[in-house]
Structure 1
Amino acid sequence: MKPNEIRNNFHGITALRAIAASVVLIVHSSALLSFNHEISKLVILTNIGVDIFFIISGFIITYAHWNDFGRGAQGVKGFIRKRFVRIYPMYLLFTLITALALFMMPQLFFSLKSSFELLFSSLLFLPSKMANGDVTLLLAVAWTLSYEVAFYAIFSIAMLFNRRMALVVTSVALIAWSSLSLIQQDNYISNYFFTTLPIEFLVGMIICIIFKTSSSIPSIAPLTSGVLVVIAIITLYYLFFIAGFDTSELRSNTRFIYFGIPALIIFISFFNTPYSKKSTIRKVVEVIGSASYVTYLSHFLIIGVIKFIMKVIPGTQQLPLAITVIASCIICTVAGVFIHIYIEKPAISFFRKKKTREAIEN
Structure 2
Amino acid sequence: MLISIQVMRGFAAILVVFYHIYYISKLYSDYNIRHFELLHLGVDIFFILSGFIMVYIINKGDSFSNNMILKFLKDRIIRIVPLYWFFTIVMFLSYIFIFDKEKSIIELLKSLFFIPYYDSFSFGIYPILGVGWTLNYEMYFYFLIIISIYLFRSNYFKPLVLSMVLISVFGYFIIDDNTISNNPFIYTYFNHYLLEFCIGLIIGHLYINYNIIDKIRWFCFLFFFIAIFYSNYQFLYNLIISSCFFVFVLSYERKLKENSGKISFLIYLGSISFVLYLIHHPLLSILGKIYFKYFNFTNIYFFYFLSLLCIIPISIIVYELYELFFNKIRVYFNASKKIA
Aligned: 1:200 with 2:196: yes
The answer for the alignment partner of 1:5 in structure 2 is none
Identify if the C-alpha distance between structure 1 residues 237 and 70 changes in structure 2 by more than 3 Å, giving closer, same or farther: same
The residue identity in structure 1 corresponding to 2:204 is C
The residue identity in structure 2 corresponding to 1:183 is I
CA contact (8 A) 1:20 1:53 kept: yes
Give me the identity figure in percent: 22
CA-to-aligned-CA distance 1:119-173 (integer Å, 9 cap, x gap):
0100011133234543311111111100100111111222235654211221122
Once the two structures are TM-superposed, the CA of residue 210 in structure 1 deviates from its matched residue by: 1.2
The residue identity in structure 2 corresponding to 1:126 is I
Q: How far apart, in 1, do the equivalents of 2:258 and 2:288 lie?
A: 39
Q: How far apart, in 2, do the equivalents of 1:354 and 1:71 lie?
A: 29
Unaligned runs of 5+ in 1: 1-8, 242-246, 248-254
CA contact (8 A) 2:116 2:126 kept: yes
CA-to-aligned-CA distance 1:40-74 (integer Å, 9 cap, x gap):
11111100000101111101111011143753321
CA contact (8 A) 1:310 1:317 kept: yes
The structure where helix makes up a greater share of residues is 2
CA-to-aligned-CA distance 1:158-208 (integer Å, 9 cap, x gap):
223565421122112212321331224552321233211111111111111
Aligned: 1:138 with 2:133: no
Within-5 A mapping of 1:1-362: 9-34=1-26, 35-68=28-61, 70-106=63-99, 113-132=102-121, 133-160=123-150, 164-181=154-171, 182-184=173-175, 187-214=183-210, 216=211, 231-240=223-232, 247=234, 255=235, 257-273=236-252, 274-275=255-256, 281-312=262-293, 314=294, 316-343=295-322, 345-350=323-328, 352-353=330-331, 356=334
CA contact (8 A) 1:75 1:159 kept: no
Identify if the C-alpha distance between structure 1 residues 84 and 330 changes in structure 2 by more than 3 Å, giving closer, same or farther: same
The answer for the alignment partner of 1:6 in structure 2 is none
Unaligned runs of 5+ in 2: none
CA contact (8 A) 2:52 2:203 kept: yes
Query: Once superposed, what is the RMSD of the aligned Cα atoms?
Result: 2.7
Q: How far apart, in 2, do the equivalents of 1:276 and 1:330 lie?
A: 28
CA contact (8 A) 1:85 1:348 kept: no
The residue identity in structure 2 corresponding to 1:49 is G
Runs of 4+ more than 6 Å apart: none
Q: How far apart, in 2, do the equivalents of 1:348 and 1:330 lie?
A: 27
Identify if the C-alpha distance between structure 1 residues 195 and 67 changes in structure 2 by more than 3 Å, giving closer, same or farther: same
CA contact (8 A) 1:32 1:307 kept: yes
Identify if the C-alpha distance between structure 1 residues 60 and 32 changes in structure 2 by more than 3 Å, giving closer, same or farther: same
Identify if the C-alpha distance between structure 1 residues 358 and 151 changes in structure 2 by more than 3 Å, giving closer, same or farther: farther
The residue identity in structure 1 corresponding to 2:203 is I
TM-score under structure 2 normalisation? 0.87
Identify if the C-alpha distance between structure 1 residues 18 and 131 changes in structure 2 by more than 3 Å, giving closer, same or farther: closer
CA contact (8 A) 1:102 1:113 kept: yes
The answer for the alignment partner of 1:251 in structure 2 is none
The residue identity in structure 1 corresponding to 2:118 is K
Identify if the C-alpha distance between structure 1 residues 359 and 74 changes in structure 2 by more than 3 Å, giving closer, same or farther: farther
Identify if the C-alpha distance between structure 1 residues 150 and 39 changes in structure 2 by more than 3 Å, giving closer, same or farther: same
